[in-house]
Amino acid sequence: MKTKKVFETNQLVAVYGTLKKGFGNHRLLKRADFIGEGVTKDLYRLCVSGLPFLIDGISEEGNNIEVEVYMCNPFEMMSLDALEGHPVFYERKMTPIVLSDGETYDAWVYFVKDNTHYNNGVYHKSYTGIENYIGY
C-alpha cells in the first residue's frame, strides 16, 4: 500500500493574519477555493507585534480565533509553507475549525514555535492590521 504525502492532495488551510483577504500575503491564495469564515473550535492566544503570532497550545486565556478557510492545491501548500517558514519558524498543525454554518472541519493552521518571545500577554480574537497603531 502506497502512503500519500501531504502534498499529493488538496488540503484545507485556515488563515488568521496576513494571508486573509485584503492583506499583502493573500496573493498566495488568490486561486485557492474560498470555503468560508469560521473560528477555531478551541481557545488559542493570538498576539500581535507588527505581525500576528498564534501561540501553540490551547489556553483558557485565549479566544476562538477568527479565520478564513481555503482549499489549497499542493503548489499553494508549498508556497504557504515557504512563507511561514514551516517547520522552523511557524509549525503547521491540523486544527478543528467551526465554519459559520456550524460545520466543523480539520484544517491546517500555522502556529509560531517560539511561545515565549512572541507572547506579549495581549490576546486578540482576530487580526485587523491596526492593533499596534491605535492601542488595541
- CA–CA dist 61, 58 (Å, integer): 9
User: In what helix (H) or strand (E) does residue 82 lie, and over which residues does it extend?
Assistant: helix 74-84
- Name, in order, each residue with C-beta under 8 angstroms of 116's C-beta and a sequence gap of 6 or more: none
- What are the phi and psi torsion angles at 106 (to 5°)? -90, 130
- CATH number of the domain residue 24 falls in: 3.10.490.10
Q: Confirm whether 19 is domain-assigned.
A: yes
Q: Tell me if 118 is assigned to some domain.
A: no
Domain total of the chain:
1
Q: Which helix (H) or strand (E) holds 81?
A: helix 74-84
134 occurs within a structural domain: no
- Report whether 69 contacts 38 (CB < 8 A): yes
Parent domain of 94: 6-112
49 part of a folded domain: yes
How many other C-beta atoms lie within 10 A of the C-beta of residue 104? 11
Q: What is the mean pLDDT of residues 61-75?
A: 97
Q: How confident is the model at residue 7 (pLDDT cuts 50, 70, 90)?
A: low
Asked if 97 contacts 42 with a C-beta cutoff of 8 angstroms, the reply is no
pLDDT over 60 (residue 2) = no
Could you report the per-residue pLDDT of 77-130, keeping only the tens digit for each?
Answer: 999 999 999 999 999 999 999 999 999 999 999 999 877 889 999 999 999 986
- Which residues contact residue 53 at a Cβ distance below 8 angstroms, ignoring those fewer than 6 apart? 46, 47, 112, 118, 119
- The whole-number pLDDT of residue 129 equals 84
Q: Answer yes or no: is pLDDT of 3 > 70.
A: no
In a domain, 86, yes or no: yes
Note whether residue 1 is domain-resident.
no
Identify whether 132 is part of a domain.
no
- Our CA dihedral for 25, 65, 134, 122, rounded to 10 degrees, sits at -120
DSSP-derived 3-state class of residue 15: strand
State the pLDDT confidence band at 8, using cuts at 50, 70 and 90: confident
| Degrees to nearest 5, angle at CA 60 with 136 and 17 | 45
